Structure 1
Amino acid sequence: MLAEIAKSFVKAFPLGKKENKNIEKFRKKYGKDFDEILKMKIFTEKDLDERKKKIVEEAMKPEYGPIVYKKDNKFYVNPYRGECLRLVYSDFDETRRLAQLIAQEYWARGVHVSLVPSTSKLSRIALSVSPDWAIAELPETSVATAKLYDARIFLGGDEDENWIKGLEQKHLLGAPGTQYLHQIMDSRGVRWCVFGWPVEKKEYHVNKNFYRKVFLASIKETFSPEVKKYCDYYRRALEGGDVIRIVADDGTDLTFRIKGRPILVADGIIDGEDIKRGDVGLNIPDGEVF
């Protein structure tokens, strides 16, 4: 089950290669000779004159990608960089295994994945023992990662929903820094996903087995063709609409207007059209039009 979900998720939240910005720097510096190297894709030292040898030597430096790498006496051109992903997961057996399977799928696509375990218990300990000034401080590492990662995922959930109880005011000290980090990531169009999972809870408001059954069914349904079909149906129904009225047997009777508002589709997939609209986020389970 977990392997199937991991494959479905990676298709829904695609990551892979991105443009290597150093290509243009080399093109401006070396011109036609560099373009000829790019076109060769795979070559040996015998294929190079002295000028191109110097270009290749420069292009093999790690700080440029590298743009060219060597294996078994052959040179390979790679004009791309793998995208960078930060995957934070609830540190329990099932979510740990799923995080590893998701990472494996992304690694196969050339994505650089940072796996970061987390629990509510550990978060509370960190918040409890840290001095106020450290909570209020914006870590330099956090700023650096906000400027570098292409995507971020949280997989799991809080095993203790009240982990912050009694520490709310202390937690708020870090809010300005967190807001600043979100501004950096939003300006860069960093893609994000909150992938909910039925982790073992400290307390339940419904039957434990029922909770898990419904949660897993919702996750599987998110990746089904039916969700896409229904979301598309409601998108077409709402496009160009004006007055919306919602009534129900429980007495609900709401009327509002949507004229001029964009219709957003949350169908469990991030695709090129979503990104063009600036819709870079994904929630799982999912399946709504709003």
Structure 2
Amino acid sequence: MKKISVVIPAHNEEGNIPLIYQRVKDVFSTLENYRFEIIFVNDGSRDDTQKEIEELAQNNDEVKYIEFSRNFGHQHAVKAGMDSSTGNAMISMDADLQHPPELILELIKRWEEGFDIVYTIRTYPKQISAFKRKTSTLYYKFLTRISDVNLSEGGGSDFRLMDASVVDVVRNMNEADIFLRGLSNWMGFRRTGVHFTAGERATGESSYNLKKMMKFAFTGITAFSVKPLYLAAYLGFIFSALAAVGYGIYVIHSFISKTEISGWASLIMTVVFFGGVQLIILGIMGIYLGKIFNQVKERPNYIIRSKNF
């Protein structure tokens, strides 16, 4: 029998743990010649998520869990589950049931057809705000243009299947700021996509606020591209050239018209403008230096407080 490892990161998902377990179990009950394990990764939850997981594990041998010592982030939680998976294939999905477990059947079907990575292409239901849909679409279009990976529109989802051979490759990576959505594309292998409509969160509220989304966006951009550094250099050359040309014209005009060069307001605005440009460039460079700083320290990506296997 083939074995499928289902990795589910959870952060304050106490109400969703029993629900997603039952739905995943129902899916595999329809499959012959397959067995499964569910690896819950408790990413520093402050509610009773760990208690719910442990109760499931006591009564169900297929339930495994990893408890972090604190919140290390969603991507590291998925990576921890992948590091501990033992199946012929691994499926990662969120605990809030926005990733429908019933789609597992289609993912496994495509895997059996010979694909190493089966990713999902998400579309949002009508009740999701137009702002969230539009910003998500624009972000992945921008990421595709500015980086070295090509994320399909709507393909930015951590709901995917990976063959064990792909999981082994990811397991040997030790990036401080890991971005699995980009890595699954960058690695190559045989890939195919499956469309799905995101469901509603079953219980609780999402802890993925604007600050976390912005940090995740910058991680994706800087993890797969140095183009922002080139952009900073180009901006420097362009504005320097514009300043030289503009000042030259201003000087020539003052000689021809026999007027003095004056205008403190324009001078101050120019200084402030170019000062802002310099800060932007320094900020871009600082982000990359910060990533190097975190990487060379070689601290572990996560710390396990407890596990049952």
Q: From the two aligned structures, give the one with the greater strand fraction.
A: 1
Larger relative contact order, structure 1 or 2 (CA cutoff 8 Å, min sep 6): 2
